[in-house]
Amino acid sequence: MTIVKSEVTTYQLYINGDWVNPISNDYFDVVSPATGEVIAKAAHGDEQDTKLAIDAAATAFPEWSRKTSKERADILTRLHQLMIENADELAKKISEEMGKPIMQARGEVMNAADYVLWNAEEGKRIYGEIIPAATPDKRLQVIRHAVGPVAAITPWNFPLGMVARKVAPALAAGCTVVLKPAEQTPGSAILFFRLAEEAGIPKGVINLVTGTPDKIGDVLLTDKRIRKVTFTGSTNVGKTLLKKAAEQVKRVSMELGGHAPFIVFEDADLEHATEQLARNKFLNCGQTCISANRIYVQASIKDQFLSMLKEKVEKLQVGYGLDVTTQVGPLVSAAGLKKVEDQVKEAVAKGAQVVTGGTKPDLKGYEEGFFYQPTILADVNESMRIANEETFGPIAPIYTFETEEEVIAKANDTDFGLAAYCFTTNLSRSIRVSESLEYGMVGLNDIVLAQVEGPFGGVKESGMGREGGPDGLADFLEKKFISTVY
Ligand code: NAP
């Protein structure tokens, strides 16, 4: 394995069409999760920088929102093209900063580019309505317009995808944006902004601030000119932001944490189910909000299921993200690794069995990295921490169940409601179970839920609002009802 040293780059803020130093003139370290070395310095923005970014977004809003849909679509289409042309550089940045295997990072770039193009096209279809009135002298119309300047706050696990999923519909709707990307992974968002600048996004329309999250967040949440906050991240931070947004009744979209059940019935195609589970669970090292977090296997097939899954999981190649053969990279941080180690230790102490993994891998040259071996735990039960928290790591905990009613009740027994999966070949059961699961999204013999055409999002404490499809764009639009006597 070759050990690659990355160059240390310095990232500035992007405010009103200029790349600028933070007022503090202070920078924080961006660290490689594979090696622990500093790979970039990012601007430590604060309240004053954020205020300047909002000034720019508010000033640019009237002109951007009055542009025709076609003018906005033309710019976004150029941005899409530039993303495709620069896909390698974008993917490399994602992989370096968060450890994602390069092939998965490339997939993220393509998916992000798709969101840009899809919204460019959909922006041309922001139609109004004429409603038949109850009296002949009236005309009732509904028009839709941009909600206003928007604050977008994004996490590190899909550092480009989450940015594109917010910025593209916001721009297509006619909104201007202040983005705060995650501190671990500012690089791909910054490259995206450079491409957006090249594509012709006018100054002030998009702005980017990195730095202390609560200080930046407070300014974004308390400035009345920001009319909407779109957030992806943990449920805890989401709740804090929701309380602050309530003060001004700001519009919000919240894409929060998950605790996905993955149900496998005895009538499932087990080859397909284990192959899909190995992909879903270990994609992005398990750091995905829709990762299977509780795997329920019908008791009659437990042994066969475990042996088929084990065979697939033991073939997964763990390593440095930029190595093309890598399938599982490191966790993003020491804290992420510790959470995984603690959950496994506690589960084993309470009787769980390690089927495979359960330790850090021996990777020469990457001893400082936050790696953990893909792990299967059997005999897990509800008394364990892993059963009650989002793991966000490469651990597959297996539970068994006897009946359909029992597993539906267990799957729904959580405050989360983002994604759920059901594997069965019984048509009636597939309808019953998918309709009974209290989740925003259900994969039926399928694990791919983040599709540009479909509404991605959760219920209960997993959030509100949807990203993707027409709903994703509608979240950045207000309806205005106009009643006319003529
Ligand atoms: P996080 O800690 O909540 O952080 C998300 C973003 O919020 C980061 O940019 C962070 O900044 C910022 N932030 C933190 N505290 C803040 C505050 N007080 N005010 C304003 N901003 C604040 O989440 P994460 O660890 O990055 O991401 C993992 C979580 O995201 C998981 O729970 C996962 O399930 C969830 N997620 C959900 C979806 C979905 O679509 N539902 C998708 C992906 C991830 P710093 O980076 O500077 O701390």
pLDDT in tens, 471-482: 999 999 999 999
What is the dihedral sign for C-alpha 111, 114, 119, 125? negative
* Ligand 1 atom nearest 180 alpha carbon: 9
For residue 117, the Cα-to-chain-centroid distance in whole angstroms is: 18
- Measured at the CA of 279, the angle between CA 277 and CA 284, to 5 degrees, comes to 125
Rounded to 10°, the helix 69-85/161-173 angle is 160
Measured in angstroms, how far is the CA atom of residue 239 from the centroid of ligand 1?
11
What are the CA-CA distances from residue 484 to residues 47, 50, 140, 144, 192 (Å)? 45, 41, 6, 17, 44
Judged by DSSP in three states, 281 sits in helix
Predicted confidence at residue 315, as pLDDT, reads: 98
Confidence class for position 335, pLDDT limits 50, 70, 90: very high
β-strands 292-298, 395-401 pairing: parallel
Predicted confidence at residue 3, as pLDDT, reads: 45
| 151 DSSP β-pair partners | 178, 229
Tokens of 75: 């710019």
What are the CA-CA distances from residue 286 to residues 4, 44, 278, 427 (Å)? 24, 29, 10, 30
The residue nearest atom 21 of ligand 1, judged by CA position, is: 213
The one-letter amino acid at 215: K
Measured in angstroms, how far is the CA atom of residue 332 from the centroid of ligand 1?
13
Q: Does residue 4 carry a pLDDT above 80?
A: no
**pLDDT 10s digits, 30-56:** 999 999 999 999 999 999 999 999 999
**pLDDT 10s digits, 61-97:** 999 999 999 999 999 999 999 999 999 999 999 999 9
The residue nearest atom 47 of ligand 1, judged by CA position, is: 183
β-strands 228-232, 292-298 pairing: unpaired
DSSP 179-196: EE--TT--HHHHHHHHHH
Q: Does residue 135 carry a pLDDT above 60?
A: yes
End-to-end CA distance of the chain: 77
**pLDDT 10s digits, 139-186:** 999 999 999 999 999 999 999 999 999 999 999 999 999 999 999 999
Predicted confidence at residue 7, as pLDDT, reads: 64
Tokens of 446: 């399928």
What is the dihedral sign for C-alpha 417, 418, 423, 429? positive
Query: Is 37 tagged catalytic?
Result: no
Strand locations in 209-264, DSSP E? Answer: 228-232, 251-255, 260-264
Is 411 within 8 Å of 296 (Cβ atoms)?
Answer: yes
The one-letter amino acid at 377: L
For residue 351, the Cα-to-chain-centroid distance in whole angstroms is: 33
Instruction: Calculate the average pLDDT of the chain.
Output: 97
Measured in angstroms, how far is the CA atom of residue 233 from the centroid of ligand 1?
3
Predicted confidence at residue 1, as pLDDT, reads: 41
* Euclidean distance between CA atoms 181 and 155, whole angstroms: 7
Tell me which of 108, 197, 255, 390 is the catalytic residue: 255
For residues 121-129, average pLDDT:
97
Place of tokens 């149900």: 263
* Ligand 1 atom nearest 458 alpha carbon: 41
* Ligand 1 atom nearest 220 alpha carbon: 20
For residue 470, the Cα-to-chain-centroid distance in whole angstroms is: 18
Ligand 1 neighbours, Cβ below 6 Å, are 153-157, 180, 182-183, 213-214, 217, 232-234, 237, 240-241, 255-258, 289, 390, 418, 458, 463
* Euclidean distance between CA atoms 412 and 433, whole angstroms: 11
For residues 415-422, average pLDDT:
98
Q: Does residue 327 carry a pLDDT above 80?
A: yes
3-class SS string, 375-404:
EEEECCCCCCHHHCCCCCCCEEEEEEECCH
**pLDDT 10s digits, 368-413:** 999 999 999 999 999 999 999 999 999 999 999 999 999 999 999 9
Confidence class for position 6, pLDDT limits 50, 70, 90: low
User: What backbone phi and psi angles, to 5 degrees, belong to 449?
Assistant: -110, -20
Q: Does residue 13 carry a pLDDT above 80?
A: yes
For residues 3-10, average pLDDT:
67
User: What backbone phi and psi angles, to 5 degrees, belong to 164?
Assistant: -65, -35
Tokens of 218: 């407070």
% of the chain beyond a pLDDT of 90: 98
Measured in angstroms, how far is the CA atom of residue 156 from the centroid of ligand 1?
7
Residues with Cβ within 8 Å of residue 2, at least 6 apart in sequence: 323
% of the chain beyond a pLDDT of 70: 99
pTM recorded for the entire structure: 0.97
Nearest to 433 by CA among 446, 418, 420: 420
Tell me which of 175, 289, 461, 467 is the catalytic residue: 289
Query: Is 289 tagged catalytic?
Result: yes
* Ligand 1 atom nearest 257 alpha carbon: 34
Predicted confidence at residue 8, as pLDDT, reads: 86
How would you class 248 by CB atoms within 10 Å of its CB: exposed for 0-12, middle for 13-18, buried for 19 or more?
middle
Measured in angstroms, how far is the CA atom of residue 73 from the centroid of ligand 1?
29
Q: Does residue 277 carry a pLDDT above 90?
A: yes
Predicted confidence at residue 279, as pLDDT, reads: 98
Order of strands, sheet of 150-153, starting from the edge strand that comes earlier in the sequence? 18-20, 13-15, 206-208, 177-180, 150-153, 228-232, 251-255, 463-464
Predicted confidence at residue 2, as pLDDT, reads: 42
The residue nearest atom 18 of ligand 1, judged by CA position, is: 214
Nearest to 91 by CA among 112, 119, 115: 112
